[in-house]
Structure 1
């Protein structure tokens, strides 16, 4: 099967599979404040995310590209939305364009329709430094995502089977590139051990890509004759991934944490920020809106989401995203059990502020 056909399959199966509420975010509850002492119109959503200035804490996360005209159309629509809202956008893996130059337009369309906004290039952990530089140049990118998708590759019928030296390759790219490099999981989450490995090679930006969003094991199993269902529930939920990374970051390591994986609404965004993330990525939810409702309605939905986020911040007494990060939250259920087993004191989150 060609790469282009595989890219189309991924989009179609992603829409069929959908998203669950397995991110762990339903286990997070804000502590109610009867006297928040806030004014909605004075709440600011702008934030510095590492070296990058965001107008709000949301970004459109990597989805597609490399599937010919169909994925070019999707990326054009996403770029138009990002441009109107002035939010960052990441493209899907550009390795297709590395292998086949005719696929470049499906990625370049993003910079064409989002000319002054933040755009993230994207390569796999198999990429060389030269390939990473090529992909950055293709988009005049402001940052580079390097994605890790071991489970997807294992389940993918034609996927990679050799992961030797991936961390070394990531290190080489980080050292060679002068824009932010965001190391990103693809739906299976990050432990603090993984984050420590990345920090030790110079990574200061991580996207935890937690379990609970688009499930690439389910997608790839839909393309297999012999199912590998044991990977369908594999991974670290988004809430756990963010909490583990944030606790590790509490040692003043200056890590920038991007949260993605099953984020569907404003309350999810508020929760990942309160857990310790600097920004929240949406992918499957935005793609579904675009496919079902079109560009204008998707823009309306995202504007409503940002309005809802301001209301939530007003309710918890947070005038800025820095304030929101300090808001007390109660962690319960399976997320609490997981964190306690990992030696993390959840009462720290409940009694701050």
Structure 2
């Protein structure tokens, strides 16, 4: 289910797409073909990471305490979530993957068709390459063409001018803008920028100018307590902590260069760590990075995420252009998440924040070092009144 706010402006923005692309052509960056080659490299190297054996990550250090009589009927489970002013019928969304090449167009078309069939929100890859070279715009606008009524998030980098966010939103007729922070990736990227000093002011300016709400996200290295607090102070309402454990852009960019930064392959914090570390008050939290299975998504929701972004697990089907398979995978994730909620006694995803969790290993060590009471998570149901008449 989608909120209807702004639907009229979305229609207008979609009609303006081709005009905007034509206007942007006058400011296209020289050598923009390099951007398309980079996007192809990203897809190829991300797919190679997917073929590697699945590594352990911090979601493995999160364990539900099983209460055998807490389950509910699956018919009583509602997967709907509220994020900012939006009502989503799904607690998961397809996170930004790619754009700016022929392969990216096929990937985005497949993902968008599956999003349309299932009602799952979807984000684009970084639209910056299309703002530099409007000839690449079709690999992004295909998302709205294949998913005309769904919830779509455009994506742009924090190092761009404030009006880039507006242009990205207009190009896709987007409902929200993901503004990504990727200082680690830029550091490792052979052609990357190393000028990060104005990013906080840039985020604030982009959020103020953007015609739709802004979601600030990392690209796989995590948002710390300090970062989330600073985002809250400048008025950012939603943030995706996007931690380690999934597609690793430090390793991707290192492989594209001379591997001089291979030692940054384990840099950053996991999504689970970031959720534990989040301050109060904070932007509303989304989570992504290292989500391999439906149980990982449910764990992220239990740790405080309002919704969970998935990318890597869907890449193979998207690369093959297999829309039916992609739709089946999304429906399977939603079905399994609903069954897990029923097992855990959660009628809605938000109810998972009242389940008991055991935090182990590296995640518990992180919590203790950051001053988070890890043991308190194992006693959350103690605060819920019992329904047993013998106890009253």
Which residue number in structure 1 is paired with residue 154 of structure 2? Answer: 121
Which residue number in structure 1 is paired with residue 75 of structure 2? Answer: 41
1:277 aligns to 2:300 (yes or no): no
Residues 66, 97 of structure 1: 8 Å contact kept: yes
Return the alpha-carbon distance in structure 1 between the equivalents of residues 270 and 163 of structure 2: 34
- Which stretch has the larger CA shift, 220-229 or 286-295? 286-295
After superposition, the C-alpha distances for 1:104-149 in whole angstroms (9 at most, x for unaligned) are 1111110111100000011101122221111110111100000011
1:13 aligns to 2:45 (yes or no): yes
Cα drift, residue 291 of structure 1: 3.0
Name the SS for the 1:138 alignment partner.
helix
1:266 aligns to 2:299 (yes or no): no
1:327 aligns to 2:327 (yes or no): no
Alpha carbon RMSD of aligned pairs, Å? 1.4
The gaps in structure 2 that reach 5 residues or longer are 1-32, 382-392
Residues 17, 218 of structure 1: 8 Å contact kept: no
Q: 1:96 aligns with which of 129, 139, 150?
A: 129
Cα drift, residue 226 of structure 1: 4.3
Q: 1:165 aligns with which of 183, 191, 198?
A: 198
Residues 24, 335 of structure 1: 8 Å contact kept: yes
- Quickly say closer, same or farther: Cα 1:109–1:308, change in 2 above 3 A: same
Which residue number in structure 2 is paired with residue 232 of structure 1? Answer: 265
**Which structure's CA Rg is the greater one?**
2
1:312 aligns to 2:344 (yes or no): no
Name the SS for the 1:48 alignment partner.
strand
Return the alpha-carbon distance in structure 2 between the equivalents of residues 87 and 135 of structure 1: 21
Residues 163, 210 of structure 2: 8 Å contact kept: no
Return the alpha-carbon distance in structure 2 between the equivalents of residues 308 and 73 of structure 1: 27
Return the alpha-carbon distance in structure 2 between the equivalents of residues 169 and 301 of structure 1: 37
Q: Structure 1-normalised TM-score?
A: 0.95
Residues 82, 88 of structure 2: 8 Å contact kept: yes
Return the alpha-carbon distance in structure 1 between the equivalents of residues 325 and 100 of structure 2: 26
Return the alpha-carbon distance in structure 2 between the equivalents of residues 283 and 242 of structure 1: 19
1:338 aligns to 2:366 (yes or no): yes
Count of residue pairs brought into register by the alignment: 347
Q: 1:29 aligns with which of 63, 68, 91?
A: 63
1:152 aligns to 2:185 (yes or no): yes
Which residue number in structure 1 is paired with residue 94 of structure 2? Answer: 60
Cα drift, residue 290 of structure 1: 2.7
- Quickly say closer, same or farther: Cα 1:138–1:326, change in 2 above 3 A: same
Cα drift, residue 212 of structure 1: 0.4
Cα drift, residue 288 of structure 1: 2.1
Q: Structure 2-normalised TM-score?
A: 0.86
Cα drift, residue 98 of structure 1: 1.1
